[in-house]
Amino acid sequence: MKRHETRTLLALTALPLALLSACDRSKGPEPGSSPPQQAEPQPTPAAAQAAPAAADTAAQPPSTPEKQVVRIAGFSTPESVMYDGEADQYVVSNINGKPGEADDNGFISRASPEGAVTELRWIDGEKKDVTLNAPKGLTMAAGKLYVADIDTVRAFDAKTGVPAGAVKIAGATFLNAMATGSDGTVYVSDTGVKIGDKGVEPTGTDAIYKVDLKAKKATPLIKSKELNGPNGLAAAAPGLWVVTFRGDELALITPQGKREQVQKLPKGQLDGLAMAAGGDLLVSSWESATVYRGPVTGPFKPVVTGVTSPADIDVDTKRNRVLVPLFQKNTVEAHGL
């Protein structure tokens, strides 16, 4: 069920070009201004290999009518977007720098479903009482907003944004996506990579942890290189669904930490994972610039296409929209389902 080694190497080669290019452009425009135009990437062997996937995407008709798309600009490398149903707002994590750099300048934004950034730096790493380096995945539990931040899960009051504790995970290298189970358990994935000037290198720390804020500790649910760069998470009754960034697989992790029901998706470099109405899963793919939808047993079909660098997605359950942060374009898009 795994990709051939050559395909994996190609994905690892292509990823740093996208991530490092995005990092160089990470200082986003001010709210209300137009995002900067992206320069065309220079041809590389990996890009040439990826060209057929791009052609496949271009050949597909737009899956969402333009009038059903809400675009919100003004972010700075947005990695994750979360729908806060209680406040009826979108919460967005901004790396604002390099994804693995502890520079304490990351921030969390709030935006309205109508398409306006209501508070760009709601939780701001540049404030003296806040530490936030390269925030990625978001989830809520027991009135707190949890944020994945390189090797630490940070918590903030979900209403005020005031810091509410942190759990550092020893050995973690790239904490990424987050999810909350029906019992209130908070989960975080470690994609198991490090990113530098030479690109992406696997660290072998691939894992999914259960986070206990009160006890200030994290317990591995599963640690295995077989996870192949675990990224997006979605909690469900039978366990925890996870997708691979260094591959094209969806799998179920049981409460006992077993990896089951592994299946291939149409394309790889999978990032975000969210539950849609009726129990379907939504999955974002960097390789095909697409969001796929399907039942947990498959098959998965494209519902949103042409979304460059679609990162950690979520669902606006009130309006039946999928929320897609465009990592390289400093924009969040809401597409009607």
The CATH number of residue 129's host domain is 2.120.10.30
Asked if pLDDT for residue 141 goes beyond 60, the answer is: yes
Q: Distance between CA 310 and CA 321 in Å, rounded?
A: 15
pLDDT given at position 64: 63
Asked if pLDDT for residue 36 goes beyond 50, the answer is: no
Query: What order do you get walking across the sheet with 117-124 strand by strand?
Result: 78-84, 89-94, 107-111, 117-124
Residue 164 has, within 13 A of its CA and on its CB side, a CA count of: 20
Span 156-175, pLDDT tens digits: 999 999 999 999 999 999 99
Virtual CA dihedral for 211, 214, 217, 219, nearest 10 degrees? -40
Q: Residue 178 is part of which domain span?
A: 5-336
Query: What order do you get walking across the sheet with 163-168 strand by strand?
Result: 138-141, 144-149, 152-157, 163-168
Q: Distance between CA 263 and CA 296 in Å, rounded?
A: 9
pLDDT given at position 59: 42
pLDDT given at position 200: 87
Asked if pLDDT for residue 181 goes beyond 70, the answer is: yes
Q: What is the mean pLDDT of residues 244-259?
A: 97
pLDDT band at 124 (very low <50, low <70, confident <90, very high): very high
Q: What percent of the chain has pLDDT over 70?
A: 80
Cis status, amide bond into 299, omega within 30 of 0: yes
Question: Which has more confidence, 1 or 147?
Answer: 147
Mean of all residue pLDDT scores within the chain: 86
Other Cβ atoms less than 10 A from the Cβ of 181: the count is 18
Span 11-20, pLDDT tens digits: 444 444 455 4
Give φ, ψ of 42 to 5 degrees. -75, 140
Asked if pLDDT for residue 1 goes beyond 80, the answer is: no
pTM comes to 0.84
Asked if pLDDT for residue 62 goes beyond 60, the answer is: no
Q: Distance between CA 255 and CA 221 in Å, rounded?
A: 8
pLDDT given at position 238: 84
Q: Distance between CA 290 and CA 300 in Å, rounded?
A: 11
Other Cβ atoms less than 10 A from the Cβ of 49: the count is 15
Lowest mean pLDDT among 66-80, 208-222, 298-312: 66-80
How many separate domains does the chain show?
1
Triad 84, 90, 94: Cα angle to 5° = 120
